[in-house]
């Protein structure tokens, strides 16, 4: 009796292109997080936030906090991908949770940008279907 599972029952997390696409997507918040930590005014300009000179220190501090959050989410996804590539952990559960968490952050970011700047929300919300599809794909929902 064979112990191999039929191809239709293999979870999508075993497909290397799905995990590799997830890693490529995780590079985006990682890079944005590093950029926000190193140069907050530039990060605010990319987000189209108005500059308030009186609260410059507070604005830079909050931008760095958001940058640290982006960096943490991106690195968490990249670490999961690296562990999967080394065969140390399965990606389907952890990766899907990490990606769906990233989707929640993207949705909230778009709402805040729309509320504060009045525009630019689709630069965030456009990323939402990508991370949601990858997260659901890793969960086996397709």
pLDDT at 11 over 60: no
pLDDT at 84 over 50: yes
Domain that holds residue 66: 13-139
* Long-range contacts of 43-50, Cβ-Cβ distance < 8 Å, separation of 24 or more: 43/67, 47/113, 47/117, 47/120, 48/113, 48/117, 48/119, 48/120, 49/113, 49/116, 49/117, 50/116, 50/117
The answer to whether the CB of 44 falls within 8 A of the CB of 51 is: yes
Domain assignment present for 85 = yes
Domain assignment present for 1 = no
Domain assignment present for 3 = no
Looking at per-residue confidence, does 15 or 127 come out higher? 127
pTM over 0.85: no
Domain assignment present for 7 = no
Per-residue confidence band for 87, with pLDDT thresholds at 50, 70 and 90: low
Chain centre distance of CA 21: 12
The whole-number pLDDT of residue 51 equals 65
Domain assignment present for 28 = yes
37: left (phi over 0), alpha (psi -120 to 50) or beta: alpha
């Amino acid at each position: 009796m064979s112990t191999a599972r039929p191809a239709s029952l293999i979870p999508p997390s075993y497909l290397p292109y799905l995990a590799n696409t997830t890693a490529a997507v995780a590079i985006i918040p990682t890079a944005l997080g590093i950029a926000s930590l190193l140069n907050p005014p530039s990060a605010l300009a990319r987000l189209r936030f108005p500059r308030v000179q009186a609260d410059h220190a507070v604005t830079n501090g909050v931008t760095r906090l958001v940058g640290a959050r982006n960096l943490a989410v991106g690195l968490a996804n990249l670490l999961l991908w690296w562990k999967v590539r080394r065969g140390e952990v399965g990606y389907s559960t952890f990766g899907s949770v990490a990606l769906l968490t990233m989707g929640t952050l993207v949705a909230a970011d778009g709402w805040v940008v729309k509320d504060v700047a009045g525009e630019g929300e689709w630069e965030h919300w456009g990323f939402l279907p990508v991370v949601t599809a990858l997260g659901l794909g890793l969960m086996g929902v397709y």
